Structure 1
Amino acid sequence: MVMKNILATGVAGFIGFHLTKRLVKEGYRVIGLDNINDYYSTDLKYDRLTQLGIKKGSIIEDKPVPSKTHENLQFIKTDLENKAVIDDLFADNGFDVVINLAAQAGVRYSLEDPYRYIDSNITGFLNLLEAARHHPVEHFIYASSSSVYGANTSMPFATSDNVDHPMSLYAASKKSNELMAHTYSNLFDIPTTGLRFFTVYGPWGRPDMALFLFTEAMLNDEPIKVFNHGNMERDFTYIDDIVEGIKRLIPKPPTPNPDWTGDDPDPATSFAPYRIFNIGNSSPVHLMDFIHEIENQLGMEAEKNMMPMQPGDVPKTWADVEDLFEYIDFRPQIKVKEGIRNFVEWYKEYYKSEVQS
């Protein structure tokens, strides 16, 4: 089988790093892109890149550099908003597949700096679509988010649901990506697949996510912030299951749905080569149970500061993923107990000089 030439964005990020590691291991030719912004620790991002054979000192702004350990991997530090660089990348490399995981992340941060979300998640996404328009690809996969479900309360969340009531600008930017992708699928026949991620966790995770924040605070004898007084549920999904799902989607670009009708439009499919999937565990966990499992793995009890709900947040997420499981013949394998144990082991090893004995 001829291995695909892939542009993967956000490769210094949590999901992008794990996915890139898997793709190069399996022989795909990958150019990884990231702007290494300071939304959270750039040290963690550079350390992820080091795992891929990309040393900080070798990085040249806006120029691809080769990995020291993977001959089928190059890395370029640039912004998605840099249209000239993006256009040149597509023209020079003839990508078969685009996997866009780069974005300004975070629900709460979108209240502080909304312009970052427009620059990266809207303008940057448009640059990728335009490049794919002029340099056609076989499959354009991109990260959406469970946040698009917003004010919806009917559970589990299904891709057939209306998602017109976002609770944050981050969510609105992700819904915008889905609409933009459909437009380009329709006008330019680009096969696009949007993935609504549900609370991804695991080793090398993001420092702004609950598992990281709770573990860090507990190991430093600090209280943890428990929002909505603990009355939260999340469809926690382990990183390896997410990566497996994305990998299985690569050779399966969407095709037009022959049964689609404008009289009863299905939001998840189209008359164009367009598809939306939830990608999650489909097994929501109560926040307090999640915290108790962290306590079990750390062998200590957390001091808990019970807090009100944060603006832009939602009390529960739960993914209906039957259509994805059917499409790729895969169900998540990792339970929360195992996933938290793996994260805690990684955290202690990575921060061993900082962890209190």
Structure 2
Amino acid sequence: MKILLTGCAGFIGSHTLERLLADGHDVIGVDNFDPFYARSLKEANLAASSGPGTTGQGSFELLEADLAEATTYQKLKFMAADQPIDAIIHLAAKAGVRPSIEDPVGYQRANVIATQNLLEFSKENDIKQFVFASSSSVYGVNPNVPWTEKHDVSGPISPYASTKVSCELLGHVYSHLYGIRVLGLRFFTVYGPRQRPDLAINKFARLIEAEEPIPVFGDGSTRRDYTFIDDIVGGILACVYKSVASGAPETENGKLKTEQPEGCMPAYAVINLGNDQTVTLAEMIATIEEVVGKKAIIDRQPEQPGDVPQTWADVSKADELFGYKPTITFKEGVTEFYKWYQAQGRSF
């Protein structure tokens, strides 16, 4: 297939790229190399995921561009002229709850406007398969765990979460009006090799190894559904492959059918991708201590605005639709991350 993959130089995007190439697909990758963290780390992600010896039969073309700019789409159309795009995997976004509070307008532009533009591109070029990254943040403060896709998401508590709700709603509009299959994958706290340096497991591992204090917000009782990168990428690709195999969503008299044929993916859905288990902040720190072999120095700080007390995914819908079954335990995942980190040297 020919796949358009956005955010290809990021943490999740570069792992997805690696798997797509290994599976023999041709990939157009888009990334704007946002300076949220060092460009050199993103370049290293690309080198690891698309360099010599990492590909199967697939090819890779990189477009460095801003998805919120209209001119980007003329370039994409030119790059896809020789072979139509079979599916879009849209992973590009400004991520992070706390930074979004400081820059809500920037998050709206990078997440919502870019997604709108990409859906327009999908409509105009008759691309019927659109899979994008949503987030567990859409659930807000919901004490009814585990969270299912039927739970209300009308109460986001950060600008980042609100942009992801907006993208889900946009996806529904384009699916309904234009017969595009739009599938939003709600990721739950993804971690593993190549993880962004600002995220807790990466940051804590570095600080604990260096015997420096780690900032701990609250009393350590907050819980997260940590999901290893290999499980997430496996879910993304299983979703895409099942979606493409289902063909274009069926219509009747020019209108999208609410019910698609048995065995096909729905025309629109939001789907949890998590580990279906939770780990407290205190347990996370203890696991990193065990893997690194050093005790943490705790710098206790107040809870942060926009943070939720817990996340927990019910993944039964993903299992039903495309056989998603996470397999990596938290300790196994932290161990794999630390092996990768050690292999990098002190480059963060």
| TM-score above 0.5, yes or no | yes
Correspondence for 1:322: 316
Q: TM-score, normalised by structure 1?
A: 0.88
CA contact (8 A) 2:21 2:56 kept: no
1:72 corresponds to which of 59, 77, 96 = 59
Shift in Å, 1:33: 0.7
Amino acid at match of 1:127: N
CA contact (8 A) 1:90 1:132 kept: no
Shift in Å, 1:16: 0.3
CA contact (8 A) 1:236 1:281 kept: yes
1:202 corresponds to which of 188, 192, 195 = 192
Q: TM-score, normalised by structure 2?
A: 0.90
Shift in Å, 1:26: 0.7
Is 1:258 equivalent to 2:259 in the alignment?
A: yes
CA distance in 1 between counterparts of 2:267 and 2:19 reads: 26
Correspondence for 1:273: 267
Seen in structure 2, the aligned counterparts of structure 1 residues 296 and 320 have a Cα distance that, compared at 3 Å, is same
1:100 corresponds to which of 90, 93, 110 = 90
Aligned counterparts, 1:223-262, within 5 A: 223-253=213-243, 256-258=257-259
CA distance in 2 between counterparts of 1:166 and 1:351 reads: 39
Correspondence for 2:252: none
Is 1:295 equivalent to 2:313 in the alignment?
A: no
Amino acid at match of 1:27: G
1:304 corresponds to which of 298, 306, 326 = 298
CA distance in 1 between counterparts of 2:58 and 2:343 reads: 28
Q: Percent identity?
A: 41
Q: Which runs of 5+ in 1 are unaligned?
A: 56-66, 260-269
Correspondence for 1:35: 32
Correspondence for 1:264: none
Aligned counterparts, 1:18-167, within 5 A: 18-53=15-50, 72-90=59-77, 92-93=79-80, 94-167=84-157
CA distance in 1 between counterparts of 2:36 and 2:143 reads: 30
Q: Greater CA deviation, 21-30 or 245-254?
A: 245-254
Q: Which runs of 5+ in 2 are unaligned?
A: 250-256
SS at match of 1:229: coil
CA contact (8 A) 1:225 1:304 kept: yes
Shift in Å, 1:115: 1.8
Shift in Å, 1:178: 0.2
CA contact (8 A) 2:192 2:228 kept: yes
Shift in Å, 1:90: 3.5
Moved over 2 A (4+): 52-55, 67-71, 251-259, 351-354
Correspondence for 2:254: none
CA contact (8 A) 1:52 1:70 kept: no
SS at match of 2:144: coil
